[in-house]
């Protein structure tokens, strides 16, 4: 007769002072042999999966529960159900407590780690004091190994953190499930929303009907695939697989998306796990190619590209880190090749795992997930910022109820700052990891963002152009975004936070750059959506452009510091095209006398010439003229119109072909 011992180290004991332990032995079920046979069949199936290791515990639960229906008074079976319900992919870990309590009630010595597992069960139920009591009871028991002691002490700290965080919950937020069109009974995670919030792209481990999908041997779950869903009037539509161009027959997960939504970063599970990139051309994604440079060396799984398109943050378990997976940064060279990876250091990284980072539109604020710091259990989401000296600040837990006692990961904020998306396993979800949306009831809690978008075309052919859109913080003279328009459509998108005066420059080979001043510093005049189309002129004689980011104080001809980025673009263009000669023209508005405005416009044009010559441009290539209050670009009846009339232009007056 087969005896079900479940685990080699388990004790089997009967105690008269507690509920009687009923073993799975035929003699105990003489009155229902058919039911016993049925239950043992399920028990055997559950044991097979259980013995395959923790990654298969969740699959064993339904079989054990069928056996438990027949015999609910077995200490070991209740223990195993509770243990399996605490496994990584269990849809409701909180239910484990009931079964572990039953196992302990039947037999307090059911297993040497019963107090540890009870601690975990109280922990996920956020019963902090009960959890700490069980953890401490476990530490007092005999035969606890060194690693388990360290783990238990960490969990006690997590309970302390959880107690503090839940007593001070985040206010003015609403957390909702992304819905049945996105989430399933299978894991969904890693969601990224496009800047215009028209699409959500994410990873799912659901079965795929469009191609043969196997399960991963390590955990028995379906392989990862990348999916997308369209926004349909504020509701996400039915998610669809992104197809064989993005997905392969192996593990494929969304690792990140560029700020302009033109580049997808895909994790492919080959070679230990590497990052690939795919580019959008019209409505089609290119076949992913291995990310160049020094990114892929070991197991790299998630990335976040800063808005400047030159700084890449990523997670890696490469040697030399602080423990587990760390966050690194790499900067691209002039050819776009990623350079040496630099660890973000011990302020951000811990001896535990860090990853799933998201750098924000300011290029300075990062959200990431970590098992360390003051986590309240599993992965928590943290926020850190780069200060004026370039150092990362001490990470701050974003708080409860975004974070809970289980894994909370992949936090990303929408372009308008009103929503954030993250993944979590929560009671009432669709099963396993779901994608949740955080709605900020008062958006001023986080900086608002403006979506700037449009089309870039050729002035002569009106055809779309693949151009670079560079956005500079005029005050700091620093690049905050660098995106490329779609070569098939000319479309571009960039999300910018408010409270900043921006200079926008659009550049393409063979064309004059075009500039725009975008002043979002007036928070009382907030526009969440701005359409700006650019028409670029080919480099040829008589082509001209307004330098919209040249600034002078009122009635002054001295260049303000905010003008530097724009003037440096002119310097760069002239150095790249050494045969070009240009004329600088200054203009004024209608305020003031004709002689005064003419003199002022000449002085302003001369200031520009002086800057160019001081930065290596020969004076022989430059002429200038002041036109005073003539050649108006806009009406003088408004402040905005007068501002447009106070401008500086340059025109190509001579250009020789290179020999």
CB atoms within 10 A of CB 339: 14
- Burial 52-70, CB ≥16 within 10 A → b, else e: eeebbbbbbbebbbbbbeb
Do 283 and 315 share a structural domain?
Answer: yes
- Angle between helix 75-85 and 33-50 (nearest 10): 40
Q: pTM of the predicted model, to two decimals?
A: 0.82
Do 152 and 245 share a structural domain?
Answer: no
Per the domain annotation, does 360 fall within a domain? yes
pLDDT at 644: 64
Last residue of a domain, one of 516, 538, 560: 538
Last residue of a domain, one of 138, 167, 196: 167
Per the domain annotation, does 15 fall within a domain? no
What rounded mean pLDDT belongs to the chain? 88
Mean pLDDT to the nearest integer, 647-659: 80
Specify the range with the lowest mean pLDDT, choosing from 443-452, 489-498, 552-561: 443-452
Predicted confidence (pLDDT) at residue 13 exceeds the cutoff of 60: no
Closest among 349, 358, 328, 347 to 446, alpha carbons compared: 358
Per the domain annotation, does 13 fall within a domain? no
Specify the range with the lowest mean pLDDT, choosing from 256-265, 338-347, 381-390, 457-466: 256-265
CA triple 148-153-155, angle to 5 deg: 95
Do 298 and 417 share a structural domain?
Answer: yes
Predicted confidence (pLDDT) at residue 65 exceeds the cutoff of 90: yes
pLDDT at 637: 61
Task: Confirm if 645 and 590 have CB atoms less than 8 A apart.
Answer: yes
Q: Tell me which DSSP letter residue 31 carries.
A: T
Per the domain annotation, does 19 fall within a domain? no
Q: How confident is the model at residue 340 (pLDDT cuts 50, 70, 90)?
A: very high
pLDDT at 478: 84
Predicted confidence (pLDDT) at residue 260 exceeds the cutoff of 70: yes
Residue 419 sits in a domain whose CATH number is 2.120.10.30
Q: How far is CA 482 from the centre of its chain?
A: 18
Residue 35 sits in a domain whose CATH number is 1.25.40.10
Specify the range with the lowest mean pLDDT, choosing from 314-323, 405-414, 594-603: 594-603
Instruction: State whether residue 392 is helix, strand or coil.
Output: strand
Do 213 and 293 share a structural domain?
Answer: yes
**Domain coverage including residue 452:** 447-538
Predicted confidence (pLDDT) at residue 1 exceeds the cutoff of 50: no
Instruction: State whether residue 595 is helix, strand or coil.
Output: helix
Q: Tell me which DSSP letter residue 464 carries.
A: B
Q: Tell me which DSSP letter residue 522 carries.
A: -
Residue 468 sits in a domain whose CATH number is 2.60.40.1120
Do 396 and 308 share a structural domain?
Answer: yes
What span, in angstroms and rounded, lies between the C-alpha atoms of 210 and 241?
8
What span, in angstroms and rounded, lies between the C-alpha atoms of 358 and 404?
19
Per the domain annotation, does 75 fall within a domain? yes
CA triple 565-567-569, angle to 5 deg: 75
pLDDT at 11: 40
- Tell me whether strands 501-507 and 468-473 are parallel, antiparallel or unpaired: antiparallel
Last residue of a domain, one of 538, 571, 590: 538
Do 599 and 498 share a structural domain?
Answer: no
CA triple 524-529-530, angle to 5 deg: 95
Predicted confidence (pLDDT) at residue 243 exceeds the cutoff of 50: yes
Mean pLDDT to the nearest integer, 492-518: 89
The alpha carbons of the chain give a radius of gyration, in whole angstroms, of: 31
Do 496 and 385 share a structural domain?
Answer: no
Mean pLDDT to the nearest integer, 279-308: 89
Task: Confirm if 346 and 354 have CB atoms less than 8 A apart.
Answer: no
Q: State pLDDT tens for residues 201-212.
A: 999 999 875 444
Count how many domains the chain has.
4
pLDDT at 441: 80
Do 503 and 361 share a structural domain?
Answer: no
pLDDT at 16: 38
Per the domain annotation, does 589 fall within a domain? yes
What span, in angstroms and rounded, lies between the C-alpha atoms of 138 and 86?
17
Residue 554 sits in a domain whose CATH number is 3.30.1330.60
Mean pLDDT to the nearest integer, 40-63: 93
Interacting residues of 54 by C-beta distance below 8 A, sequence separation 6+: 87, 88
pLDDT at 140: 92
Q: How confident is the model at residue 476 (pLDDT cuts 50, 70, 90)?
A: confident
pLDDT at 151: 95
pLDDT at 524: 66
Do 436 and 321 share a structural domain?
Answer: yes
Do 379 and 302 share a structural domain?
Answer: yes
Do 330 and 212 share a structural domain?
Answer: yes
pLDDT at 381: 98
What span, in angstroms and rounded, lies between the C-alpha atoms of 78 and 532?
64
Interacting residues of 129 by C-beta distance below 8 A, sequence separation 6+: 159, 163
Per the domain annotation, does 12 fall within a domain? no
Phi, psi of 208 (to 5 degrees): -115, 120
Mean pLDDT to the nearest integer, 340-350: 96
Query: Element (H or E) spanning 19, and its range?
Result: none
The DSSP bridge partners found for residue 435 are 423
Per the domain annotation, does 51 fall within a domain? yes
Do 258 and 141 share a structural domain?
Answer: no
Q: How confident is the model at residue 255 (pLDDT cuts 50, 70, 90)?
A: very high
Q: State pLDDT tens for residues 118-144.
A: 999 999 999 999 999 999 999 998 778
């Amino acid at each position: 007769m087969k005896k079900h011992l479940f685990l080699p180290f388990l004790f089997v004991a009967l105690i008269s002072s507690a509920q009687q332990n009923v073993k799975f032995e035929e003699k105990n079920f003489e009155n229902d042999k058919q039911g016993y046979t049925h239950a043992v069949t399920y028990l055997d199936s559950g044991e097979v999966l259980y013995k395959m290791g923790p990654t298969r515990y969740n699959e064993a639960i339904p079989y054990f529960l069928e056996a438990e229906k027949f015999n609910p008074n077995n200490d070991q079976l209740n223990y195993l159900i509770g243990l399996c319900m605490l496994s990584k992919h269990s849809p409701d870990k909180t239910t484990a407590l009931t079964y572990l309590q039953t196992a302990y009630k039947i037999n307090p010595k059911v297993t040497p780690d019963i107090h540890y597992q009870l601690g975990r069960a109280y922990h996920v139920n956020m019963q902090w004091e009960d959890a700490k009591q069980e953890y401490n009871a476990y530490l007092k028991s005999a035969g606890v190994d060194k690693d388990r002691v360290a783990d238990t002490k960490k969990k006690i700290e997590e309970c302390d953190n959880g107690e503090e965080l839940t007593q001070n919950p985040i206010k003015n937020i609403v957390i909702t499930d992304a819905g049945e069109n996105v989430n399933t009974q299978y894991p969904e995670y890693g969601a990224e929303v496009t800047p215009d919030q028209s699409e959500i792209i994410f990873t799912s481990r659901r079965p795929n009907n469009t191609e043969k999908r196997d399960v991963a041997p390590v955990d028995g779950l379906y392989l990862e695939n990348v999916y997308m869903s369209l926004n349909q009037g504020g509701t996400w539509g039915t998610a669809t697989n992104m197809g064989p161009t993005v997905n392969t027959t192996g593990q494929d997960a969304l690792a990140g998306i560029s700020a302009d939504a033109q580049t997808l970063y895909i994790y492919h599970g080959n070679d230990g796990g590497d990052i690939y990139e795919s580019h959008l051309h019209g409505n089609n994604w290119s076949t992913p190619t291995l990310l160049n440079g020094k990114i892929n060396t070991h197991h790299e799984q998630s990335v976040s590209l800063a808005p400047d398109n030159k700084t890449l943050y990523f997670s890696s378990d490469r040697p030399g880190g602080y423990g587990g997976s760390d966050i690194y940064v790499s900067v691209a060279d002039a050819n776009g090749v990623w350079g040496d990876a630099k660890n973000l250091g011990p302020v951000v990284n811990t001896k535990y795992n860090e990853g799933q980072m998201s750098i924000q539109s300011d290029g300075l604020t990062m959200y990431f997930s970590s098992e360390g710091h003051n986590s309240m259990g599993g992965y928590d989401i943290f926020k850190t910022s780069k200060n004026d000296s370039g150092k990362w600040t001490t990470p701050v837990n974003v708080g409860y109820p975004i974070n809970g006692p289980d894994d909370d990961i992949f936090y990303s904020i929408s372009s308008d700052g009103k929503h954030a998306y993250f993944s979590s396993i929560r009671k009432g979800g669709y099963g396993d990891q779901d994608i949740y949306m955080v709605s900020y009831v008062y958006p001023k809690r986080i900086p608002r963002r403006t979506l700037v978008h449009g089309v870039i075309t050729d002035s002569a052919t009106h055809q779309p152009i693949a151009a670079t859109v560079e956005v500079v913080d005029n005050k700091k003279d620093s690049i905050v975004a660098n995106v490329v328009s779609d070569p098939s459509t000319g479309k571009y998108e960039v999300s910018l936070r408010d409270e900043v005066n921006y200079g926008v420059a659009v550049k393409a080979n063979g064309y004059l750059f075009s500039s725009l001043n975008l002043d979002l510093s007036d928070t009382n005049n907030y526009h969440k959506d701005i359409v700006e189309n650019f028409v670029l002129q080919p480099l040829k004689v008589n082509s001209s452009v307004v330098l919209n980011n040249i600034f002078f104080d009122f009635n002054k001809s001295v260049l303000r510091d905010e003008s530097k980025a724009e003037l440096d673009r002119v310097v760069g263009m002239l150095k790249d095209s050494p045969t070009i000669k240009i004329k600088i023209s200054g203009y004024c508005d209608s305020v003031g006398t004709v002689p005064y405005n003419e003199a002022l416009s000449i002085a302003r044009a001369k200031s520009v010439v002086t800057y160019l010559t001081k930065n290596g441009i020969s004076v022989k290539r430059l002429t200038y003229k002041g036109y005073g209050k003539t050649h108006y670009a806009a009406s003088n009846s408004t402040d905005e119109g007068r501002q447009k009339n106070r401008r500086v232009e340059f025109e190509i007056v001579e250009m020789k072909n290179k020999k």
